[in-house]
Amino acid sequence: MSEANKAQGEETRDQIEGAREPLLELRDLATWFRTDEGIAKAVDGVSYKIHPGETLGLVGESGSGKSVSALSIMRLVPSPPGFVERGGIFFKGESLLSIPDEDFRSIRGNEIAMIFQEPMTALNPVYTVGDQVMEAVILHRGLDRAAAREHAIQMLTKVGIPSPETRVDTYPHEMSGGMRQRVMIAIAMSCDPALLIADEPTTALDVTIQAQILDLILELQQQAGMSVLLITHDLAVVAETAQHVAVMYAGKVVEYASVEDLFAQPRHPYSIGLFRSLPDLAKQGKRLTAIPGMVPSATRFPSGCRFRPRCSIATDLCASSEPPLVSLEAGGVHTVACHHLEEARGL
């Protein structure tokens, strides 16, 4: 009986979540590239939602389309060769794809900001740190230089840069990787964005500095009530920061769930394999259970389910038809794209 109550409780929670207006929604987004080998379907029918104040973790292997989906939101996909083939991106209910470029500038860096893995390439080496933090507030908030400089010093203080009054006049190359990432965060946060997209923000950093940067992002998020799209290949980082997770494979979301549900019981054969590969969870001395084979190239995805060549329970059905992303329970949050969910339980 208590089980039934619990299930009912969960359903209502899910329903509330479903009913809440998402801040950002991707609907069947497809972003492709024209390459010498043919069309690379980097992102090929991706849907996910981010609610106000929440962190969505986007995980998956290299080349699965995580960054391209984020760059599509920011309109930073190089074009040519890239183009949006179909689908929609909705921010606060408005279709981003139908906004003209000039108007989009008031959203990028203002309402939606982004930080990258390698801050050195994102920062301009010939401008001081202060100039770069000031740029966004001068552009979007119309502050004069003196006020913008004050604001920049405040932002540098906020992100934990020691002696911000002098650091504001230094150049990016004079800083360590961790400090540069803090500067990137200061720039991204300077206009109080509703959504922060962080693409592998800590991958290039030591674990100690990673912990500091993740703590900083969480702290700023709580202060400002902003939403975060956190892209990472590190499941442990997601476990520590996100409320929901989308697992991507070969240009698709194959599983979406709350972190608790995904980490308690991943349901897609790829997600299951990913967890088994973690040395973190493996017994010392026991062999790791690696997923055989490798990620297919974006120009040559297999027919049907794209995970099929590496999946141990694949059948003819998997080769002939692409499994849709469906809810485990009617109206529930946890969704999985696999034809053989029952068999996958036995993996």
Partner 1 sequence: MSDLVNSGNANAPLLEVRGLKKYFPVRKGLFSRVVGQVKAVDGLDFTLGRGETMSLVGESGCGKTTAGRTLLRLLAPTAGQVLYSPNPEAAPTDIFKLPAAEMRALRPDLQIIFQDPYASLNPRMTVGNAIAEPLLVHKVVSASEVEDRVAGLLERVGLRPDVANRFPHEFSGGQRQRVGIARALALGPKLIICDEAVSALDVSIQAQVINLLKDLQDEFGISYIFIAHDLSVVRYISDSVAVMYLGRIVESGTAQQIFDDPQHPYTRALLSAIPHADPSKRGERIPMTGEIPSPIHPPSGCHFHTRCALAEDRCRSEWPASVALGAGHQAACHLVQSAGTEEA
Ligand X SMILES: Nc1ncnc2c1ncn2[C@@H]1O[C@H](COP(=O)(O)OP(=O)(O)OP(=O)(O)O)[C@@H](O)[C@H]1O
Instruction: Give yes or no for residue 35 binding partner 1 (CB under 8 A).
Output: no
Residue 313's binding partner out of ligand SF4, Mg ion, partner 1, none, with CB under 5 to 8 Å set by partner kind:
ligand SF4
Token readout for 277 is 């590969």
**In the bound complex, what is the minimum distance in angstroms from residue 255's beta carbon to ligand X?**
15
**In the bound complex, what is the minimum distance in angstroms from residue 234's beta carbon to partner 1?**
7
Instruction: Give yes or no for residue 337 binding partner 1 (CB under 8 A).
Output: no
- Evaluate whether 331 touches 10 at the Cβ level (below 8 Å): no
Contacts with ligand X: how many residues (CB under 6 A)? Answer: 17
Instruction: Give yes or no for residue 67 binding Mg ion (CB under 5 A).
Output: yes
What is the Cα–Cα distance from 195 to 228, expressed in whole angstroms?
6
Nearer Cβ to partner 1 (103/280): 280
- Considering only the stretches 88-96, 132-140, 164-172, 307-315, report the one whose residues sit in contact with ligand SF4 under the rule CB under 6 A: 307-315
**In the bound complex, what is the minimum distance in angstroms from residue 116's beta carbon to ligand X?**
10
- Evaluate whether 149 touches 134 at the Cβ level (below 8 Å): yes
> Distance of CA 62 to CAs 65, 161, 173, 194, 271, Å?
8, 32, 28, 27, 15
- Evaluate whether 328 touches 345 at the Cβ level (below 8 Å): no
Question: Between residue 37 and residue 66, which ones bind partner 1 under the rule CB under 8 A?
Answer: 61-62
Q: What angle do CA 122, 123, 126 make, to 5 degrees?
A: 140
Instruction: Give yes or no for residue 184 binding partner 1 (CB under 8 A).
Output: no
What is the Cα–Cα distance from 341 to 346, expressed in whole angstroms?
9
Residue 305's binding partner out of ligand SF4, Mg ion, ligand X, none, with CB under 5 to 8 Å set by partner kind:
ligand SF4
Question: Between residue 205 and residue 264, which ones bind ligand X under the rule CB under 6 A?
Answer: 233
- Evaluate whether 119 touches 202 at the Cβ level (below 8 Å): no
- Evaluate whether 302 touches 308 at the Cβ level (below 8 Å): yes
Nearest to 190 by CA among 157, 232, 214, 236: 157
Nearer Cβ to ligand SF4 (257/305): 305
Question: Which residues here bind Mg ion, judged by CB under 5 A?
Answer: 67
Question: Which residues here bind partner 1, judged by CB under 8 A?
Answer: 61-62, 176-179, 206-212, 214-215, 233-237, 239-240, 259-260, 263, 273-282, 284, 287-292, 294-295
